[in-house]
Every structure is written in structure tokens, then in C-alpha cells.
């Protein structure tokens, strides 16, 4: 989860709050001070001189930041296992090497440049939309952060569907797909170790969002239940949700 999702998504959210908002505020302030109009007057293209460098910088730096987030998360997991589970660092990383394939790392790295591009593009676009006063700068800075975080989460869901259809991160060759029982681990489906005796690996291998949708389905208010069902179907969660309704 750290390599595939949490590391890159949390890094993208932090960058959206910091760099995305900074891009909007910087370009918006230039817009209020008519500096961008002055650039156009002397024949300079604001897209070329203000937008493209920021987009390229974030596309190049986002994988490095995601990698740093992944390593920090693994180090935190190793420390937690050492304190609470009496693991040593060597045992933790040996187990990590045995159970996690390299494609878990690659999937996060594939997402990160796209997240960087979206965050920078939204931040610069909202900055160019500033009109009139400093109040507009604040409003559009807030909007750019919200839009960036929303787009990161939606794109992460889209990438998850694409990787699912492409069968990326398949179970390792030495893993089994037998029915999981309580207290018995299944290396292709870690959730089986915590599942009931009647839950199979096929059932428990739904993406995390699908399991969350299955838990929320019974308590979703009736007016928004159709929208919830449509969204769950788009995310390939309909089998889990149908059993809960």
C-alpha cells in the first residue's frame, strides 16, 4: 500500500497544498499587478515563461518526492514493527522482499509524474484566472488546492482500474490462491489472515475502496443511494456493494 498508493498520494496532496497554492498565488499576484499584461506588451508569452517551467519542474520533482515518501513510510513501518511486534529491521525487510514485488514500486512511480503535471497545470490555470483584487487571489488559491486534491484522488482511482485491467502486480509465483481461514495467512491476499473462515481470497481481494463501499452501502441515505451505486459500479465495486444492500 505504501509503494502503490499511500506514498505517492500523500506526497501529491502535500505538494498540492504547498506548491499548487504557491503557483496560483504567484501568478495571481502578477495578474493583479498587471505584470502579465506587461509581459504580453513586450512580446513575451506568459505560458512559455511562467507556466511551462513550473509544470516541468513539478513533473520532474514529483517522482523524487514520492520516492522519499515511500522510503519514509517503510522506515516508519519498520520502527512500528520493531516496537509493537518485536520484529528486527532485518526481519522486516526480509519479509518485505519476499512478499512485495518490484511492480508495486513501479506503479507508484508511474503515477507521480501525472500527479505533478495535474497539480502544476491547475495551479497555473487558476492563477491566470485572477481578476481585479487580492480577494480574488485568495479565493482562487483555495480553489486550486481543492481541485488539485480532488483530481489526484480521481486519477488514483483511474490508475487503479487501469492496473487492475492490465493485471499489474499479479500474485507472486510462490503464492497460493486457496481459501483463507482465520489465523492462516495467504501470501497473495494479506487480508485473508484477518478474515473469517468463510471468506475466500477472491472475496477479500477487492480493492480497499470496494470494501469501504460495501461497509457504507447499508447506511447511505436513500436520496443519494442511486448516485452511490453508479459510482461504485464505475469503480468495479458492484459485487461487494450488491451483497450489502
User: Which letter, b or e, does each residue of 92-127 get, where b requires 16 or more Cβ atoms within 10 Å of its Cβ?
Assistant: beeeeeeebeeebbebbbbbbbbbbebbbbbbbbbb
- How many Å is the maximal CA-CA distance in the chain? 73
**In this predicted model, what pLDDT tens digit does every residue of 166-198 receive, in sequence order?**
876 554 444 443 334 334 334 444 433 333 333
Q: Is there a contact between 17 and 145 (Cβ–Cβ < 8 Å)?
A: yes
Q: Considering the entire predicted model, what is its pTM? A: 0.67
Taking residue 221's Cβ as centre, other Cβ atoms within 10 Å add up to: 7
Q: 50 versus 172: which is more confidently predicted?
A: 50
Between CA 195 and CA 190 the distance in angstroms is: 9
Cell of 200: 475466500
| Eight-class DSSP state of 74 | H
Pick from 64-78, 102-116, 190-204: least confident: 190-204
Between CA 195 and CA 211 the distance in angstroms is: 12
**In this predicted model, what pLDDT tens digit does every residue of 207-232 receive, in sequence order?**
555 655 666 666 655 555 555 555 55
**In this predicted model, what pLDDT tens digit does every residue of 117-169 receive, in sequence order?**
999 999 999 999 998 788 899 999 999 999 999 999 999 999 988 888 887 65
Between CA 224 and CA 219 the distance in angstroms is: 11
Between CA 103 and CA 110 the distance in angstroms is: 10
Amino acid at each position: 500500500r505504501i509503494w502503490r498508493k499511500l506514498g505517492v498520494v500523500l506526497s501529491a496532496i502535500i505538494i498540492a497544498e504547498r506548491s499548487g497554492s504557491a503557483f496560483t498565488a504567484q501568478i495571481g499576484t502578477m495578474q493583479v499587478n498587471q505584470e502579465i499584461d506587461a509581459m504580453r506588451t513586450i512580446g513575451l508569452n506568459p505560458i512559455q515563461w511562467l507556466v511551462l517551467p513550473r509544470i516541468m519542474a513539478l513533473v520532474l520533482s514529483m517522482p523524487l518526492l514520492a520516492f522519499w515518501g515511500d522510503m519514509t513510510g517503510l522506515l516508519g513501518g519498520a520502527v512500528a514493527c520493531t516496537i509493537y511486534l518485536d520484529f528486527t529491521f532485518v526481519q522486516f525487510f526480509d519479509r518485505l522482499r519476499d512478499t512485495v514485488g518490484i511492480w508495486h514500486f513501479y506503479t507508484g512511480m508511474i503515477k507521480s509524474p501525472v500527479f505533478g503535471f495535474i497539480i502544476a497545470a491547475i495551479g497555473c490555470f487558476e492563477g491566470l484566472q485572477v481578476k481585479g483584487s487580492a480577494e480574488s487571489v485568495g479565493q482562487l488559491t483555495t480553489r486550486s488546492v481543492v481541485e488539485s486534491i480532488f483530481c489526484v484522488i480521481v486519477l488514483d482511482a483511474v490508475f487503479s482500474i487501469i492496473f487492475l485491467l492490465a493485471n499489474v502486480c499479479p500474485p507472486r509465483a510462490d503464492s497460493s490462491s486457496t481459501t483463507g481461514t482465520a489465523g492462516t495467512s495467504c501470501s497473495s491476499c494479506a487480508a485473508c489472515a484477518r478474515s473469517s473462515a468463510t471468506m475466500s481470497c477472491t472475496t477479500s481481494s477487492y480493492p480497499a475502496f470496494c470494501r469501504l463501499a460495501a461497509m457504507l452501502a447499508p447506511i447511505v441515505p436513500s436520496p443519494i443511494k442511486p448516485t452511490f451505486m453508479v459510482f461504485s459500479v464505475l469503480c468495479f465495486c458492484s459485487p461487494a456493494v450488491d451483497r450489502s444492500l
